[in-house]
Structure 1
């Protein structure tokens, strides 16, 4: 009875959890939270020095791998090494992501496609790679989405398209694997105090975008608060988690958001553009560093 009670109170104890985009931001905080609750964490990301620092900060043993989530073969090799070192994952969090902002008409096609590739294709590749393990362990896959999945914003076309895409993908995957006892959850996250958001605020186009949102929607939330909610969602195998909680209410009104955003944008964007020219931001977020377009660093792993 004692072991049963412990497993109920610490359902992640001794379980292997894979986190993509684990070098910084939500991924790093999530890894620390999972480790604190007894999980064996496999850290995946693009910044080896940051991954090493995150691994050193965990309360239990951890392994990190430098890998691009859009590289099918590299992800398969990494998954094999995760199994060899730690065992089959019981949970996978698809958190890796990048963003870009600016008028679509002036957007760089390569940058635009890279956002879609990392956020949508990278998430699907993560799920495809680890799904056999999750079937074997009857595990849980958590897809990190965004408020952008429910209400698209001007000047963030690639990011909004990618997050709407991962939401739809997660819904389809949930229905497909439900009979195999694999859980699929979606995390709807608002502005979070990460490198991506701090970088975004340096650009007029995104700084003004956030400033003209309703007060609750423009607030930036501490990364540890967001990560803590996601850890609990993994523990509970939640189908959905909203950070902040009021985002759940948006689900009931999301059909009204596109015409409302269009109405506001029709008057506000010309005023903002008259004050300051909107320019493309380029890739934003930790995942933008060491991007494959800048050269392939190869795979690296450290225990």
Structure 2
């Protein structure tokens, strides 16, 4: 562990579990005061208590601009400043586009893309004041498309482009903007996606090193180091950097013979679940659906 964030205030969305939880812990271990934002109040309290110090939880849906604006004001009131904001909250679906539940598919776009945009809108004014750092968590899915991951790939490609645009807009105001890339990393989301038999088989046949699931801790450690350096690009797995020069040819490869071959191989597994509407995956997806259901019930 290198670098210090002493005296800095960091906001992490999607902080109740997975990448967000561990990143919040690592930023706090470097001296940052951490504001945890997510949908699961009990989990957020657990994480805050585990971190100790001056960590604090806020419950908010990142697609709710008014809620995020309130959180941004309360975080600044509590800590006096905001130096780092990490747009990490995300959900996913797995399976063929035509079998996806339309509401779940749209929710991936809303949370991953529009939620990141709402996060930036809420926290960038404070980051301009502090000449701070905004980190957008993207994915290998931003570098290369993949069958049966249409919503996730579309959303992560979108947030990557959004962050690059912000970097160009805000650099002269002292704000650094980074994009964090992660391959398949051992989280509830990835484990949930692997429950889809066809996707799991397809993933296992991808060429090395894209066919592995990588441990969470070293990946998030690299992300935390990127935050300390305020890097424009942060790679959770070392080999992702090497994907950048060849990313232009990947859509043709996966959308051509390789994609057709793998989808033909997947047909028997897909036939068994044909007509079933696939929703959000993993415990985070379940928490998102539960929170929205509770909101609809109140309304």
TM-score, structure 1 as length reference:
0.92
- Which secondary structure does the structure 1 equivalent of 2:295 belong to? coil
- Higher mean alpha-carbon deviation, 32-41 vs 242-251, is at 242-251
Q: Distance in 1 between matches of 2:72 and 2:270?
A: 47
- For residue 131 of structure 2, the aligned residue among 123, 126, 138 is 138
- For residue 168 of structure 2, the aligned residue among 175, 195, 199 is 175
Which residue in the other structure is 1:95 paired with? 88
Superposed CA deviations along residues 253-284 of structure 1, whole A, max 9, x for unmatched, are 11111111122121121122124535553102
Contact 1:36 1:60 in 2 (8 A): no
Q: How does 1:226-265 map to 2 (within 5 A)?
A: 226-262=219-255, 263-265=257-259
Q: Distance in 1 between matches of 2:181 and 2:263?
A: 26
Superposed CA deviations along residues 179-207 of structure 1, whole A, max 9, x for unmatched, are 00100000011011110011111111321
- For residue 206 of structure 2, the aligned residue among 202, 213, 220 is 213
Contact 1:190 1:243 in 2 (8 A): yes
Pairwise CA distance, 1:21 = 0.2
- Count residues in correspondence: 290
Which residue in the other structure is 2:146 paired with? 153
Q: Give the gaps of 5 or more residues in structure 1.
A: 1-8, 299-303
Aligned pair 1:119/2:116, yes or no?
Answer: no
- For residue 271 of structure 1, the aligned residue among 260, 265, 268 is 265
Pairwise CA distance, 1:158 = 0.5
Q: Distance in 2 between matches of 1:190 and 1:87?
A: 35
Which residue in the other structure is 1:296 paired with? 295
TM-score, structure 2 as length reference:
0.93
Superposed CA deviations along residues 153-191 of structure 1, whole A, max 9, x for unmatched, are 011101000000000000000000010010000001101
Contact 1:102 1:280 in 2 (8 A): no
- Which secondary structure does the structure 2 equivalent of 1:283 belong to? coil
CA separation of 1:238 and 1:148: change in aligned 2, threshold 3 A: same
- Which secondary structure does the structure 2 equivalent of 1:163 belong to? helix
Q: Distance in 1 between matches of 2:159 and 2:114?
A: 9
- Higher mean alpha-carbon deviation, 34-43 vs 102-111, is at 102-111
Q: Give the gaps of 5 or more residues in structure 2.
A: none
Contact 1:95 1:144 in 2 (8 A): yes
| CA RMSD across the alignment | 1.6
Contact 1:24 1:286 in 2 (8 A): no
Q: Displaced runs of 4+ in structure 1, greater than 4 A? A: none
Which residue in the other structure is 2:68 paired with? 75
